[in-house]
Amino acid sequence: MNAFSKPDTPLFRVENLTKSYGPRIGCADVSFDLYPGEVLGIVGESGSGKSTLLSCLAGHLTPDRGQITYDGRNTLSMAEAERRKLARTDWAFVHQNPRDGLRMGVSAGGNVGERLMAVGARHYGDIRAQALDWLGRVEIAGDRIDDRPRAFSGGMQQRLQIARNLVTGPRLVFMDEPTGGLDVSVQARLLDLLRGLVRDLGLSVIIVTHDLAVVRLLAHRLMVMKGGFVVEQGLTDQVLDDPQHGYTQLLVSSVLQV
Amino acid sequence: MTDQAYNFAYLDEQTKRMIRRAILKALAIPGYQVPFASREMPMPYGWGTGGVQVTAACLTPEDRLKVIDQGSDDTTNAVSIRKFFQRTAGVAITEKTAEATLIQTRHRIPETALTQGQILVYQVPIPEPLRFIEPRETETRKMHELEEYGLMHVKLYEDIARHGQIATSYAYPVRVEGRYVMDPSPIPKFDNPKLGGNAAIQLFGAGREQRIYALPPYTDVVSLDFDDHPFTATKADHGCNICGSIHSYLDEVITDDQGGRIFVCSDTDFCAERQQGTAA
């Protein structure tokens, strides 16, 4: 699917989403549509509410107000069983720290196979073949399949987490700072890999980051958050090249030039 | 004198009522772990306090009790618990599986087939089968609630990946009536086929973890496995050196420091009856 030709119906629709922690605002009045194959970047400083927003979207937190519709279904009012099923089949969540997204005591193959077994795969040979295939796709050598993630480098752990999430062929992927904590060369390879996977599989992605280079490379559209509110949104290049809001201008100008 | 100061079977009647209620609920929902207010027992955790409380709640003065530990009637654990109930309940005692109305067991199911009317009480150290792969209790309860059991197969996958076969040889997870995944307590997987379709009532008590679960008679119990790595009940590839049985579960016993060893039935009652049978 061409990512730039918009289908008629959005895959994921968010309306007036609000979440506060007591008197403090987490995120307020966030609305957007996400179309199939589209990558939405959310940037903002620490404490701007982007992680709160992502947690609400992925169903980890319950928002105070607002509507979330996925593929015509209201994810806030659906039964928990259905939501969790969605989360392990159609959705994926890539954590910033791979330790949060991986089972550290389980081998790489088991980590990738978990989602397959969760949806009913009961043939060891098939599960292993699929795990091997996915390790190859994220550039992890096949002979590491029985090693535990502990024995992997940070970049490899992150790639393993991505493989584990994509193995069931999700349509919507949430990413929370997927390149955080990696050095720049590893970051570049990971971004390259992500860009290829997103394009090949036609994934819709919501990616939260404070790294403008990441969204420049990956995101079609960009939302800038500050203090829980969305202060600016639009096409990524447009927002980054011609920032309108004062905070976005500050953000763009504070990127270090080498 | 002090023995008479206890209520029948040590526990007070209200406690027994509470435990019986938990047992009834457990029987109504096979495989589901029912919480209960486990009491302090006059023996340490790990000695079978859960099983002892379930036994105490089920005992009547007419019962004939058998207690086994690893299949044996004369190991420390079995002897202590048997003595405990002799003193506090004064019930009849037997070592014969067929004659017992209530059997408390640790780590084995007797070789002799159980019959209708018998109760088999298991001592359970850790009732939660998902514990070792998902340590959060809130999460494992949610998994039971929503029937999310994929994780149990991850454990078996790890076994095959590491050892080339499902190396879990005891506490082998089972699915009860197509619903709850259950830890059958640390019985060898050799005994797993006896869990399903059993004529006796099977009760599981975990004292430290405060859980009771149960299998009513003739319940459907399936050991989890992979299509290409099916479940097999394994035992030592030998016959019993004493009674010659090739069908019973065997203990390996070291006889000297020269590497000498023999295999004997772990079920002492079964073995003794076979010896008498051949002698007569």
- For chain A, which residues make up each domain, given as ranges? 20-90+171-258, 101-169
Inspect the interface and report whether the beta carbons of A114 and B158 lie closer than 8 Å.
no
Interface residue of A104, A115, A127, A168 to substitute, partner B, most B CBs within 10 Å: A127
Q: Which residues in chain B have their CB less than 8 angstroms from residue A119's CB?
A: 150
Q: Annotated catalytic, B243? A: yes
Residue B280's pLDDT is 56
Cα separation, A173 vs A188, in Å, equals 20
Return left, alpha or beta for B218; rule: phi > 0 is left, psi -120 to 50 is alpha, else beta: left
Helices A80-89 and A108-118 cross at an angle (nearest 10°) of 130
CATH number at A20-90+171-258: 3.40.50.300
Across A12-19, average pLDDT: 94
Domains and CATH numbers, chain B: 3-223 (3.40.50.11310), 235-280 (no CATH)
Per-residue confidence in pLDDT tens, chain B, 280 aa:
455 678 999 999 999 999 999 999 999 999 999 999 999 999 998 899 999 999 999 999 999 999 999 999 999 999 999 999 999 999 999 999 999 999 999 999 999 999 999 999 999 999 999 998 899 999 999 999 999 999 999 999 999 999 999 999 999 999 999 999 999 999 999 999 999 999 999 999 999 999 999 999 999 999 999 999 999 999 999 999 999 999 999 999 999 999 999 999 999 999 999 999 876 5
- The angle subtended at Cα B243 by Cα B242 and Cα B245, nearest 5°, is 120
Q: Annotated catalytic, B265? A: yes
Q: Which residues in chain B have their CB less than 8 angstroms from residue A127's CB?
A: 157
Q: DSSP string covering B10-43, please?
A: BS-HHHHHHHHHHHHHHHHSTT--EE--PPP-SS
Inspect the interface and report whether the beta carbons of A117 and B154 lie closer than 8 Å.
yes
Across A206-216, average pLDDT: 89
Residue B2's pLDDT is 55
Whether A236 contacts A209, CB under 8 Å: no
pTM comes to 0.88
Q: DSSP string covering B175-223, please?
A: EETTTEEE---S-BGGGHHHHTT-SSEEEEEETTTTEEEEE-TT--EEE
Nearest CB neighbour to A110, from listed B146, B161, B228 = B161
Inspect the interface and report whether the beta carbons of B161 and A105 lie closer than 8 Å.
no
Q: Is A84 on the interface with B (CB under 8 A)?
A: yes
Q: Annotated catalytic, B31? A: yes
Residue B225's pLDDT is 95
Residue A258's pLDDT is 64
Q: Is A149 on the interface with B (CB under 8 A)?
A: no
Q: Which residues in chain B have their CB less than 8 angstroms from residue A82's CB?
A: none
SS3 assignment, position A175: strand
Q: DSSP string covering A46-107, please?
A: TTSSHHHHHHHHHTSS--SEEEEEETTEETTTS-HHHHHHHHHHTEEEE-SSHHHHS-TTS-
Q: Which two tokens stand for residue A257?
A: 């030039």
> To 10 degrees, the CA torsion angle through A235, A241, A244, A250?
120
SS3 assignment, position A159: helix
Q: For A54-99, how does the pLDDT look when each residue is reduced to its tens digit (9 = 90+)?
A: 999 999 999 999 999 999 999 999 998 999 999 989 999 999 999 9
Residue A1's pLDDT is 45
Q: Which of residues 117-136 of A touch B (CB under 8 A)?
A: 117-120, 122-125, 127-128
Residue A254's pLDDT is 85
Q: For A149-178, how does the pLDDT look when each residue is reduced to its tens digit (9 = 90+)?
A: 999 999 999 999 999 999 999 999 999 998
Inspect the interface and report whether the beta carbons of B133 and A106 lie closer than 8 Å.
yes
Return left, alpha or beta for B271; rule: phi > 0 is left, psi -120 to 50 is alpha, else beta: alpha
Q: Could you identify the residue written with the tokens 């995944």?
A: B181
Q: Is B160 on the interface with A (CB under 8 A)?
A: yes
Nearest CB neighbour to A124, from listed B146, B151, B226 = B226
ipTM: 0.85
Q: Annotated catalytic, B240? A: yes
Inspect the interface and report whether the beta carbons of B162 and A146 lie closer than 8 Å.
yes
